């Protein structure tokens, strides 16, 4: 970059910062940041985020990037390899929670606990352009998030923008007592509460216990995300995806509530899963028909 280019950029940055200051707008007040922060807080309120448990990423729209750019750091930080490669998302920007940071602290200090990162053109490295101050880094599950974004963007024609990971108690408890396969979990959850099949008609995937935070669990999860928008991690938690913060949070909330009901029903039933009453497969088919949704038939008898 020539001296003149640098001078021009410094000037533009200065104007943009001044513009932000004059209008009284800050990054924290932009709609997508507020939605992100609210979800973090809602998840904390639900009890899904002990200590630094859980993480969240949002893929910015082009308009988001344009409104946010004036608040970006003057100098982006260094490129960091991700250990996975997602060429389809090369150049994309994500708002992400920081590794080791607590969901309960996000609302009080967004700039410290969350940040915006940009992927390089080949999609195998990122750099921080805003937030995560004081040496913060994106979540350790960033490789899983980015790979999930890539497969969900492809599966939803670009609709998917949010990937959310939490440690909801009842879903985790279920992974101790059921065979760890997608069909078993899907059927139990669909039958726990009538509207589940409407909320997640493709069912849930299940990843057996694995070491978190690396490329292997990222690949296993994204494989299942190709045809599910929710994936359970045995003895760990849940990953969900969606177009909006509302639909993504609502999906995780619904799955966790269904798991809660299933656990309570089994306890009331002396631990047995041989319930007196249940939703039949025919009943599930009827809901799908009446609500005009395409259900994953391979999970029905």
Active site residues: 141
Binding site for ligand 13P (CB under 6 A): 52-55, 97, 99-100, 139-141, 165, 212
Cα–Cα dist 167/125, whole Å: 27
Give which of ligand 13P, Zn ion, none residue 168 binds (C-beta under 5 to 8 Å, depending on kind).
Answer: none
Residues in 215-254 that interact with Zn ion by CB under 5 A: 237
Instruction: Output the residue with the shortest Cβ distance to Zn ion.
Output: 237
Nearest distance from C-beta of residue 209 to ligand 13P, angstroms: 12
Q: What is the DSSP letter of 8?
A: H
Q: Tokens 């969240």 — which residue?
A: 56
Maximum CA extent, the chain: 78
Number of residues that bind Zn ion (CB under 5 A): 1
Nearest CB to Zn ion, comparing residues 168 and 237: 237
Nearest CB to ligand 13P, comparing residues 52 and 221: 52
Nearest distance from C-beta of residue 204 to Zn ion, angstroms: 16
Give which of ligand 13P, Zn ion, none residue 256 binds (C-beta under 5 to 8 Å, depending on kind).
Answer: none
Cα–Cα dist 85/229, whole Å: 21
Give which of Zn ion, ligand 13P, none residue 100 binds (C-beta under 5 to 8 Å, depending on kind).
Answer: ligand 13P
Cα–Cα dist 239/20, whole Å: 35
Nearest CB to ligand 13P, comparing residues 201 and 205: 205
Nearest distance from C-beta of residue 211 to Zn ion, angstroms: 11
**Phi and psi angles of residue 244, each rounded to the nearest 5 degrees, phi first:** -130, 165
Helices (H), 114-202: 142-155, 169-174, 182-192, 196-199
Cα–Cα dist 157/86, whole Å: 16
Cα–Cα dist 88/127, whole Å: 17
Give which of Zn ion, ligand 13P, none residue 55 binds (C-beta under 5 to 8 Å, depending on kind).
Answer: ligand 13P
Nearest CB to Zn ion, comparing residues 138 and 237: 237
- Are residues 225 and 231 in contact, defined by beta-carbon separation less than 8 angstroms? yes
Half-sphere exposure of 175 (CA within 13 A, CB side): 22
Nearest distance from C-beta of residue 206 to ligand 13P, angstroms: 16
Cα–Cα dist 283/44, whole Å: 35
Cα–Cα dist 224/199, whole Å: 18
Nearest CB to ligand 13P, comparing residues 139 and 248: 139
Bridge partners, residue 231, by sequence: 205, 239
Nearest distance from C-beta of residue 263 to Zn ion, angstroms: 20
Give which of ligand 13P, Zn ion, none residue 139 binds (C-beta under 5 to 8 Å, depending on kind).
Answer: ligand 13P
Binding region for Zn ion (CB under 5 A): 237
């Amino acid at each position: 970059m020539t001296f003149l280019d640098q001078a021009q950029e410094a000037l533009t940055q200065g104007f943009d910062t001044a513009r932000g200051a004059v209008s009284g707008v800050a990054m924290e007040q932009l709609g997508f940041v507020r939605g992100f922060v609210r979800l973090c807080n809602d998840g904390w309120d639900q009890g899904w985020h002990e200590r630094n448990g859980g993480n969240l990423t949002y893929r910015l729209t082009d308009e988001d990037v344009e409104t946010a750019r004036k608040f970006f750091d003057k100098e982006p930080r260094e490129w960091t390899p991700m250990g996975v490669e997602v060429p389809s998302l090369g150049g994309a920007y994500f708002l992400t929670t920081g590794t080791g940071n607590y969901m309960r602290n996000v609302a009080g200090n967004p700039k410290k606990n969350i940040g915006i990162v940009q992927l390089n053109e080949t999609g195998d490295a990122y750099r921080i352009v805003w937030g995560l101050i004081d040496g913060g880094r994106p979540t350790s599950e960033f490789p899983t998030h980015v790979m999930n974004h890539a497969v969900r963007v492809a599966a939803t024609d670009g609709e998917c923008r949010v990937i959310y990971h939490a440690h909801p108690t009842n879903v985790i408890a279920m992974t101790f007592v059921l065979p760890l396969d997608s069909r078993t979990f899907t059927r139990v959850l669909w039958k726990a509460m009538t509207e589940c099949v409407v909320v997640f008609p493709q069912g849930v995937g299940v990843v057996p216990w694995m070491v978190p935070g690396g490329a292997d669990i990222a690949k296993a999860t994204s494989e299942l995300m190709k045809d599910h928008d929710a994936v359970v991690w045995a003895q760990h938690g849940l990953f969900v995806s969606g177009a909006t913060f509302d639909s993504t949070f609502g999906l995780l909330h619904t799955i966790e509530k269904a798991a809660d009901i299933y656990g309570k029903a089994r306890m009331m039933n002396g631990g047995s899963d041989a319930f007196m009453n249940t939703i039949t497969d025919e009943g599930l088919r009827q809901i799908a028909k009446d609500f005009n949704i395409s259900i994953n038939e391979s999970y029905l008898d």
